[in-house]
Structure 1
Amino acid sequence: MERAIVHMDLDTFFVSCERLTNSQLTGVPLIIGGGDRGVVASCSYEARYFGVRSAMPIKMAMMLCPQAKVIKGDMELYSKLSHDVTKVIEEKAPVMEKASIDEFYLDISGMDKFYGAYSWTNELSQSVTKETGLPISFALSVNKTVSKIATGEGKPNGNLQIPELMVREFLNPLSIRKIPMLGDVTFNLLSRIGIRNIRTLSEMPADVLQQMIGKNGLELWKKANGIDNNPVEPYRERKSISKEHTFDQDTIDIPRLKSLMLGMVEKLAFQLRSEQWLTSTITVKIRYANFDTETRQCRVPYTSADHALSRVVMDLFRNLYKRRMRLRLVGIQLSGLVRGTYQINIFEDTVEMMALYQAMDKMKVRFGADAVVRCAGLDTKPKSK
């Protein structure tokens, strides 16, 4: 049986959310992002016409499109609307994977026996727009890679269907930049040897490609040939990551407790970014010396930034730890996870802050998670000699 995999992507999601709440922004070149030293989180098609792109410094974007209107962005609004869209799709789709705040994969294999898969998906996309007011594009094909590429080609408001017999014909003329997860370094490397479109890449021997760019070479060759057996992973809101620390001796040392939790947050945030997760729910747990256990939870806009998480954790701990009693355990849990690569709060932080996070993460990947840590997160307990 031929697989039927759908990729759905909300069109210029942040921009669409802002226009949903303020119709006067419709048709206006719009840039979502931080202040003068920030970066572009998203931009409208009117701004893209002038060369504005995501992750571009705001100053550069305004030089390209001086008439654009800049909005700081409201991640709380975007998170809420993302949840609304998720509910609509989740109620109707047999298997749904939430790939990021604005992307979804559906496995509707076998549906053609009862109802046309394309017609069903088209009706679902119309339901999303009708119930949430947000425009959405989709593509239907035999796997996740082809569907995702096709959605990008069909935007905005595109609805493409690429059956198995047309996969190679569809992929061949496209730039290798269209392949998901192909970064700038790999693109530049392949471009230097004349590999710029997918056809050329697909005809290259897989073992040679693997020697050139390492272990990802084979996966890249498969994608260029339209091969992707990765399943659609059912979305589960309750996925979480957590850390706990049980003390050898019960403690009431507040500075040490705070330093320990900041260190835990830093490691959890690095794990989020490494695995491309964003969290929407933070829980702090404490256990007193008499084994009484208390927790406090807070919902936040999707993030994976240390400093954004740290602020919330400190506030939760301050409101939770009310008894002047020694603690035997502290813990932090990050849940409500979705896939995403918005690595920091791009609406508040600067280009310099983004560069700092990227540099720290590179060092941690290369030398280990403890290679670079904030002084505030170091355990202040004196070391015994």
Structure 2
Amino acid sequence: MERAIVHMDLDTFFVSCERLKNSELYGSPVIIGGGDRGVVASCSYEARYYGVRSAMPIKMALRLCPEAKVIKGDMEMYSQLSHTVTEIIEEQSPVVEKASIDEHYLDITGMDRFFGAYRWTEELAQRVTKETGLPISFALSVNKTVAKIGTGEAKPIGRKQIEANNVRPFLNPLSIRKIPMVGDSTFQLLSRIGIRQIHTLADMPVEVLQQMIGKNGLDLWKKANGIDSNPVQPYSERKSISTENTFSTDTIDLVKLRSIIGSMVEKLAYQLRTEQWLTSTVVIKLRYANFDTETRQCRVAYTSADHTLSCCALELFDKLYNRRMRIRLIGVRFTNLVRGSLQINLFEDTQEMVALYQAMDQIKTRFGYDKVNRAGGVKKLENPKYSKQENPEH
């Protein structure tokens, strides 16, 4: 049976959320971000007309579009509205995968036996907009890759159906940038040898492509040919991530303990960013030598930046540790996770800070986590025993 896969994407999600609060923003160029030295987290189509793009420095964006209204982001509101949309989709859809805070994949294979798949999807999109006020686009096709590209071509507030016999004709004239896994470096590499459109990439010998870009060459070639067998994974949110240290010898060394907390936070924050999570709650756990265990938590604006999370964790530790008794175990946990990335969340940080995190994460990913760390967290533990990160809670 031919698969029927839908990709649904909320149009300019952050901007649309802000317009629900302030109707005067409709029709105006809007930038979501923070501070003169911050970066653009999202922008309206009116701002994009002037060349404004996500991750662009705010100052540059305002030079391109001086009349744009800059609004600080509200991740808590965005996550609540995202959750509402997910509930509406899950209520009607047999299989749902939440790909990000504003994207969903649906597998509605077999729906045509009871109800036209395209008509059903259109009515679901209309219900989302009616109940939330948020505009949404979608594309229906035979797999996730083609559906996602189709949604991008359908925006804004678009509807598109790409049937199996029309997949190649639809993909062929598009830029290779439209393929989800093609980043700037891959685009530059391929464009240097004249590969700029998908049809050229699709007709290229797969062996040559693998020699050029490595093991991802086959996956890229398949996507260019409209081939994607990846299933829609049923949606289940992760609730928290955590790590703990149990000491071989109980300690009261405050300098050591604070250094350990900083290192633990940095490691967990890196995991948040690589898995594209944001957290709003930091929890510190202490177990004393007599096995008494205490925890304390605090709320923060949704983030995955370890410099923000470290400050919160250390403040919690200072408030929690008041017995002056030796400590046996210390733990850090991040809870209330939502999908999101560092670039769309650092509303108050500078583009230099964003670039620093990106550079550090690239080094860690390529050469190993311990190759670059903050100075406060480099102190080594004496025979540390790291617990495994807890399994996702559903």
Asked if the contact 1:32–1:73 (Cα under 8 Å) also holds between the matched residues in 2, the reply is: yes
> Residue type of the partner of 2:162?
I
**Cα–Cα, structure 1 residues 124 and 286, in superposed 2: closer, same or farther, change >3 Å?**
farther
The answer to whether structure 1 residue 364 and structure 2 residue 364 are counterparts is yes
1:380 Cα deviation after fit: 7.5
Asked if the contact 1:174–1:198 (Cα under 8 Å) also holds between the matched residues in 2, the reply is: yes
1:27 Cα deviation after fit: 0.8
Correspondence list, 1:197-276, <5 A: 197-276=197-276
**Cα–Cα, structure 1 residues 338 and 381, in superposed 2: closer, same or farther, change >3 Å?**
closer
The answer to whether structure 1 residue 168 and structure 2 residue 168 are counterparts is yes
1:159 Cα deviation after fit: 1.3
Percent identity, aligned pairs only? 73
Match of 1:328 in 2: 328
1:339 Cα deviation after fit: 4.4
Match of 1:71 in 2: 71
Mapped partners of 2:193, 2:267: distance in 1: 39
> Residue type of the partner of 1:93?
S
Match of 1:153 in 2: 153
The 10-residue stretch of structure 1 (247-256 or 146-155) with the greater mean CA deviation from structure 2? 247-256
User: Deviation string for 1:320-373 (max 9, x for gaps)?
Assistant: 445443321112233444544334733111111111111211222232211111
**Cα–Cα, structure 1 residues 344 and 23, in superposed 2: closer, same or farther, change >3 Å?**
closer
The 10-residue stretch of structure 1 (261-270 or 67-76) with the greater mean CA deviation from structure 2? 67-76
The answer to whether structure 1 residue 85 and structure 2 residue 85 are counterparts is yes
The secondary structure found in structure 1 opposite 2:90 is helix
Asked if the contact 2:37–2:57 (Cα under 8 Å) also holds between the matched residues in 1, the reply is: yes
Mapped partners of 2:195, 2:304: distance in 1: 35
The secondary structure found in structure 2 opposite 1:188 is helix
1:190 Cα deviation after fit: 0.8
Correspondence list, 1:290-305, <5 A: 290-298=290-298, 300-305=300-305
**Cα–Cα, structure 1 residues 357 and 372, in superposed 2: closer, same or farther, change >3 Å?**
same
* TM-score normalised over the length of structure 2: 0.91
**Cα–Cα, structure 1 residues 183 and 294, in superposed 2: closer, same or farther, change >3 Å?**
same
Asked if the contact 1:202–1:225 (Cα under 8 Å) also holds between the matched residues in 2, the reply is: yes
1:381 Cα deviation after fit: 6.9
Mapped partners of 1:190, 1:287: distance in 2: 55
Mapped partners of 1:348, 1:166: distance in 2: 45
Asked if the contact 1:237–1:336 (Cα under 8 Å) also holds between the matched residues in 2, the reply is: no
> What number of residue pairs does the alignment pair up?
383
Match of 2:378 in 1: 378
Mapped partners of 1:207, 1:258: distance in 2: 52
> Residue type of the partner of 2:331?
G
**Cα–Cα, structure 1 residues 175 and 279, in superposed 2: closer, same or farther, change >3 Å?**
same
Mapped partners of 1:225, 1:164: distance in 2: 12
**Cα–Cα, structure 1 residues 249 and 121, in superposed 2: closer, same or farther, change >3 Å?**
same
The answer to whether structure 1 residue 13 and structure 2 residue 4 are counterparts is no
The secondary structure found in structure 1 opposite 2:245 is strand
Mapped partners of 1:78, 1:19: distance in 2: 12
> Residue type of the partner of 2:375?
C
The secondary structure found in structure 1 opposite 2:369 is coil
* TM-score normalised over the length of structure 1: 0.93
Mapped partners of 1:247, 1:333: distance in 2: 18
**Cα–Cα, structure 1 residues 380 and 253, in superposed 2: closer, same or farther, change >3 Å?**
farther
**Cα–Cα, structure 1 residues 238 and 366, in superposed 2: closer, same or farther, change >3 Å?**
closer
1:272 Cα deviation after fit: 2.3
Please, which runs of 5 or more residues in structure 1 have no aligned partner?
Answer: none
The 10-residue stretch of structure 1 (307-316 or 144-153) with the greater mean CA deviation from structure 2? 307-316
Please, which runs of 5 or more residues in structure 2 have no aligned partner?
Answer: 384-394
